[in-house]
Structure 1
């Protein structure tokens, strides 16, 4: 126990001895300092220091000796090496807090998962009456009423679809299926789905498919194009939307150009931010600020770059730049 006591305090003992030796050394090399009194002081201070160590040893080890008398089987070396009661209290408190935080985190995670599953289930349930409403609207004879109801039905459908993909977005990597797909099989169904809205606003489409195939996930690519098309239709009036595909630098590119109100230059860096709508069109209550954000998130997962150029009152052009074929080996290995 004495050895352990000294080892634990060797830094202080070493400092005291170093100071004593330094004092003697200075007195030895400096003739103006008498050496004999310094040696006397050093001897007295060392003697007092030894007495101090003995007293501290007796006082600090008395508790452990009493434990040894009470239970000879106790390992005093382990006890001396053990942490102080204060440190043990702190560690126990931190351990309890960590366990509590883990438990709360797990509870919150399960709650969010349940909420997500409930919402997805609700969205799927709502699609059933939406389908029935579409059939009822198709049987209406009043063309004006039919057009208005179809437009409102489409708005509800697009919002539900956006919400559905938003909840699936965190798990998109588990939902990807990369394959060779025909571009027209993705673009034309989206145009047809938005036909009633376009007819109401007098908007047409000019499609030029210079490239006919891409490697991607058809479901998520359709979602991206749907967001870009709805964005173009929403901010256009009585003008065609140009869609063309071509190859540049061995990258297939899909370009969607409208001639609507355009985007303010100061807004361009923020259009893909979550919840951002516009700094110049605050009266537009129909904007949610989620469409382009979700499109960008999905495009990043598919290694598709989205470039945008726009001029106010002149229109906006979104360009999807697909990765080269060999770059999909990285996606398949994820």
Structure 2
């Protein structure tokens, strides 16, 4: 900070000081006219010099004690493209300067927090894209292998042809689910734009999703059933995505168990307008030590690594969607027996959506 800039910032104070000095001199001159010889001319000159001297001394001291602060502020401005530039300003003197320094510190902290959230989101997105590409290679490789086998067979029987078609369809279904998850992950960042709230019949939605997975359920001896009815305020498209995740997980972790298995949708609506939904499967369950982390992104757990199909994003996305819709989602499990996903719908929860979501994988 130059001396000229310092003086310009205090120009109003200097003018007021000079006005006060001028008024004082005027009073002295009036007194001299009123009482001739009472006030000597030298006294007036002495007062002028002394007043200007003290004004100059005060300005010099004020400039010297604040010069370091302004130099640090100038350096911080020159390095404003650096994240820690605000920390350069430390030599605060006045209360105003301390408040400004505190504001800079709070703004820097808020900026770094937002930057950290953005970087975390980018890392999750990039990780998911890479993992998604890897998982898409598997069904493509299987389809290519099935096509080669079909070409090598001179005249496949009707049964072999049917099995081949079923295998290809299963792999294309896996690709379709992967593409759907990728699409909904991209939409999650603009959740509020892609939202339409209305009274939705969960029982009809559950039957529609079950019908879409009917062939896989039959193939793996899984018998779904819907019990009760529930009308709740929610978004039908996002709830369809959630139900698809629940049914896909149930099939994924039930198909390895021998014999028939049940998949139960239990729902109920209360007079207050709230409702509950439970999705209960008879799969391999979740280990107790994995249960607290199932909503973490990319966490697959012991069963996910065994199945080999888990991305660790299904339950994470489901939890994020529920949080933003104002629904409460919990999960419980008995290892080797069953897993229960419970959703609670409150009539007013949808109007206080949590835009942040909660830190919560499959």
TM-score bin, normalised by smaller chain: 0.5 to 0.7
Distance 1:143 1:263, change over 3 A: same
Query: How far does the alpha carbon of each residue in 1:251-292 deviate from its partner, in whole angstroms, 9 at most, with x for none?
Result: 311111111111111111111111111136533321110000
Residue of structure 2 in register with 1:221 after alignment: 239
Tell me which of 156, 173, 180 is aligned to 1:154: 173
Deviation of 1:83 (Å) = 3.0
Please state whether the residue corresponding to 1:83 is helix, strand or coil: helix
- Contact in 1 for aligned 2:266/2:277 (Cα 8 Å): yes
Deviation of 1:91 (Å) = 2.4
- Provide the C-alpha distance between the structure 2 equivalents of 1:178 and 1:266, rounded to a whole number of angstroms: 37
Distance 1:195 1:166, change over 3 A: same
- Provide the C-alpha distance between the structure 2 equivalents of 1:266 and 1:157, rounded to a whole number of angstroms: 32
- Contact in 1 for aligned 2:295/2:315 (Cα 8 Å): yes
Q: Which runs of 5+ in 2 are unaligned?
A: 7-52, 86-107, 148-157, 355-362
Deviation of 1:188 (Å) = 2.0
Tell me which of 226, 232, 238 is aligned to 2:250: 232
- Provide the C-alpha distance between the structure 1 equivalents of 2:73 and 2:331, rounded to a whole number of angstroms: 59
TM-score by length of 2: 0.55
- Contact in 1 for aligned 2:262/2:282 (Cα 8 Å): yes
Query: How far does the alpha carbon of each residue in 1:3-32 deviate from its partner, in whole angstroms, 9 at most, with x for none?
Result: x9xxxxxxxxxxxxxxxxxxxxxxxxxxxx
TM-score by length of 1: 0.60
Tell me which of 264, 284, 288 is aligned to 1:242: 264
Distance 1:257 1:146, change over 3 A: same
Deviation of 1:199 (Å) = 2.0
Distance 1:169 1:143, change over 3 A: same
Tell me which of 271, 279, 287 is aligned to 1:256: 279
Distance 1:211 1:181, change over 3 A: same
Query: How far does the alpha carbon of each residue in 1:218-247 deviate from its partner, in whole angstroms, 9 at most, with x for none?
Result: 011111111111111111133121112113
Matches within 5 A, 1:101-180: 142-180=161-199
Residue of structure 2 in register with 1:19 after alignment: none
Query: How far does the alpha carbon of each residue in 1:60-94 deviate from its partner, in whole angstroms, 9 at most, with x for none?
Result: x9xxxxxxxxxxxxx98997686348536522333
Deviation of 1:174 (Å) = 2.5
- Provide the C-alpha distance between the structure 2 equivalents of 1:223 and 1:289, rounded to a whole number of angstroms: 16
Task: Tell me the C-alpha RMSD between the 2 structures.
Answer: 3.9
- Contact in 2 for aligned 1:236/1:261 (Cα 8 Å): yes
Residue of structure 2 in register with 1:312 after alignment: 335
Q: Which runs of 5+ in 1 are unaligned?
A: 5-56, 62-74
Tell me which of 317, 321, 327 is aligned to 1:294: 317
Residue of structure 2 in register with 1:68 after alignment: none
Distance 1:194 1:79, change over 3 A: same
Distance 1:88 1:322, change over 3 A: closer
Distance 1:281 1:173, change over 3 A: closer
- 2:294 is equivalent to residue 275 of structure 1: no
- Provide the C-alpha distance between the structure 2 equivalents of 1:181 and 1:243, rounded to a whole number of angstroms: 16
More deviation, 304-313/75-84:
75-84
Please state whether the residue corresponding to 1:220 is helix, strand or coil: helix
Residue of structure 2 in register with 1:69 after alignment: none
More deviation, 198-207/84-93:
84-93
- Contact in 1 for aligned 2:265/2:277 (Cα 8 Å): yes
Distance 1:245 1:87, change over 3 A: closer
Please state whether the residue corresponding to 2:190 is helix, strand or coil: helix
Residue of structure 2 in register with 1:185 after alignment: 204
- Provide the C-alpha distance between the structure 2 equivalents of 1:204 and 1:239, rounded to a whole number of angstroms: 6
Distance 1:96 1:216, change over 3 A: closer
More deviation, 149-158/303-312:
303-312
Tell me which of 79, 92, 99 is aligned to 1:94: 79
